[in-house]
């Protein structure tokens, strides 16, 4: 499962950061995940809960912010956002010449730590 290795990576980065700053506990990790990233939030949460046990992230909450898929259309020159995880055509003019600008991200936004 894809989400397990992502959760593992998140925990490792958070632990690394926490230790470098001289802190002992991770309180929360906030991530931004694009809808088009293919990552299932529930699976990621599940994997995170399982993997954090026994680490300094044991008490940490994983907060996931979903980023919608948006893009810019070259035909009508407008920005658009869609509810789906993919874009087939510009929702404004129906054109097929567009750039997807958000929705693929997987970023750590914030790591809260304490002593
Ligand atoms: Zn358009």
CATH number at residue 79: 3.30.2320.80
CA of 90 to the centre of ligand 1 (A): 5
Q: What is the predicted pLDDT for the residue at 76?
A: 98
Q: Phi and psi dihedrals of 85, rounded to 5?
A: -90, 5
Q: Are 37 and 103 in contact (CB under 8 A)?
A: yes
Summary count for the chain: helices (H), strands (E): 2, 6
Say how many Å lie between the CA of residue 103 and the centre of ligand 1.
18
Ligand 1 geometric centre to CA of 66 (Å): 24
Question: What are the tens digits of pLDDT across the range 67-107?
Answer: 999 999 999 999 999 999 999 999 999 999 999 999 999 99
- Average predicted confidence (pLDDT) for the chain: 96
| Residue-wise pLDDT tens digits, 35-72 | 999 999 999 999 999 999 999 999 999 999 999 999 99
Separation of CA 34 and ligand 1 centre (Å): 22
pLDDT of residue 83: 93
Q: Is 93 left (phi over 0), alpha (psi -120 to 50) or beta?
A: alpha
CA of 39 to the centre of ligand 1 (A): 27
Give the Cα-Cα-Cα angle 89, 95, 98 (nearest 5 degrees). 70
Q: Could you tell me the residue range of the domain that residue 76 belongs to? A: 2-114
* Total count of domains within the chain: 1
pLDDT of residue 1: 58
Cβ atoms within 10 Å of 64's Cβ, excluding its own: 16
- What distance in angstroms lies between residue 104's CA and the mean position of ligand 1's atoms? 20
Cβ atoms of 87 and 100 closer than 8 Å: yes
């Amino acid at each position: 499962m894809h989400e397990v290795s992502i959760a593992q990576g998140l925990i490792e980065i958070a632990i690394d950061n926490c230790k470098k700053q001289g802190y002992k506990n991770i309180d929360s990790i906030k991530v931004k995940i694009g809808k088009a990233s293919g990552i299932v939030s529930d699976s990621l949460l599940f994997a995170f809960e399982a993997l954090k046990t026994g680490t300094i992230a044991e008490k940490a909450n994983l907060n996931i912010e979903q980023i919608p898929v948006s893009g810019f259309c070259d035909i009508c020159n407008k920005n658009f956002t869609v509810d789906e995880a993919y874009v087939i055509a510009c929702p404004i003019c129906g054109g097929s010449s567009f750039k997807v600008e958000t929705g693929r991200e997987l970023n750590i936004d914030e790591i809260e730590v304490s002593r």
